[in-house]
Chain A
Amino acid sequence: MTKADIVETVYEKVGGFSKKEAAEIVETVFDTVKETLEKGEKIKISGFGNFVVRDKNARAGRNPQTGQEITISARRVLTFKPSQVLKNALNS
């Protein structure tokens, strides 16, 4: 399932706009979410889950192939924590 399938579903179920407009709205939703997370702000979608940007410190790592020690630089990563509602939906 891809974005195109989601756009199709939105177009059929919500109605009131063309398929092109449906695609634009979905695109704007993702753009807005991406811009918000890029700023480091978290997004909480109740009944679905939370997207949180976390700061990771630098740490020592090892290349598993060569055994060579390397430093993994400090970075920001995105984590997703599914809500209990979503978890239950997958186990009903």
Chain B
Amino acid sequence: MKKSDLVDLVAQRQSLPRPQVEATIDCLLDALAEGLAKGERVDFRGFGAFAVRESAARSGRNPRTGETIQIAARRTPTFKVGKELRDRVNGERPAAQ
């Protein structure tokens, strides 16, 4: 499923114009990415949490040439799936609320 399919489904379900739903999903993704860029953790209960992992600079080696290179410090987005979604994906019924 692509983003445009998701937009279609949500527009249909909520009986809303497609452009409005698309703008909403884009805004949601932008807000999420901005939060992560600020180093914040973004938590969606029942779905999962996005966070940023910082890795320090380290020296690596080009496996082809054997040359030693410096790998810069970087930040990587990570996602940890929430319990409800983890169970549902695994074919378990969601826990009673």
User: Interface of A with B (CB < 8 Å)?
Assistant: 1-3, 5-6, 9-10, 13-14, 16-17, 22, 24-26, 28-30, 32-34, 36-38, 40-49, 53, 75-78, 80, 82, 86-87, 89-92
Check B21 against A90 for contact (C-beta < 8 Å).
no
Residue tally, chain B, CB below 8 Å to A: 47
8 A-B pairs besides A6-B32, A77-B90 with CB distance below 8 A are A14-B23, A28-B13, A29-B28, A34-B84, A80-B48, A86-B36, A90-B52, A91-B74
Q: Is there an interface contact between B91 and A13, defined as CB atoms closer than 8 Å?
A: no
Say yes or no for B14: interface residue by CB 8 A criterion: yes
Q: For A1, what are the chain B residues with a Cβ–Cβ distance below 8 Å?
A: 35, 40-43
Q: How far is the CA of A45 from the CA of B25 in the complex (A)?
A: 10
Question: When the two chains form their complex, are residues A34 and B75 in contact, meaning their CB atoms are under 8 A apart?
Answer: no
In the complex, per-residue mask of B29-60: 1 if CB is within 8 Å of any chain A CB, else 0 = 10111011100111111111000100000000
Task: Given the known inter-chain contacts A75-B90, A76-B90, A77-B90, please indicate yes or no for A41 contacting B1, CB distance below 8 A.
Answer: yes
Which of A10, A53, A90 neighbours the largest number of chain B CB atoms within 10 Å of its CB?
Answer: A90
For residue B61, CB closer than 8 A to chain A, the reply is: no
Q: B76 interface residue, CB < 8 Å from A?
A: yes
